Amino acid sequence: MLDPQIQDFRGRLTRIERIHRRGGGFEAAGTLGRSSYTRRVGRRSLLRPMFLVVSSALVAKSILIAQIGEADYQERVGRLNQGTQIEQVGAYVMQADPVTLWMSGYVRELLKAPL
């Protein structure tokens, strides 16, 4: 017959081992413990990736406008607009907007600056 205290002790050991396998454990306040190095799984905001995609597109368009000029860029977007549906979507995305034109002025100045 087993001692009830030993059964209780073994139950606590099993519970602690299970917590450790999952990445938990005792961590003193103000120290870098195990939880500081494990990834937290949860819902992430789509705001940061969307901002990255939009800002990358704006920078790419402004560099293109600065390199080839606004008139030539508009002509190329116009030709793209005459193509298939996918090309028309690309033309809609690549059309020059005020922010892109403003940024292209700064990019043009950076390209003219001597290194």
In this prediction, residues 77-89 reach a mean pLDDT of 94
Q: Which residue has the higher pLDDT, 23 or 54?
A: 54
For residue 28, what pLDDT is reported?
67
Whether pLDDT at 9 is above 80? yes
pTM of the predicted structure, to 2 decimals: 0.59
Whether pLDDT at 46 is above 80? yes
For residue 42, what pLDDT is reported?
67
Domain ranges of the chain: 58-110
Q: What does the DSSP assignment read for the chain?
A: ---HHHHHHHHHHHHHHHHHHTT-----TTS--GGGTSPPPS---SHHHHHHHHHHHHHHHHHHHHHH-HHHHHHHHHHHHTS-HHHHHHHHHHS--HHHHHHHHHHHHHHHS--
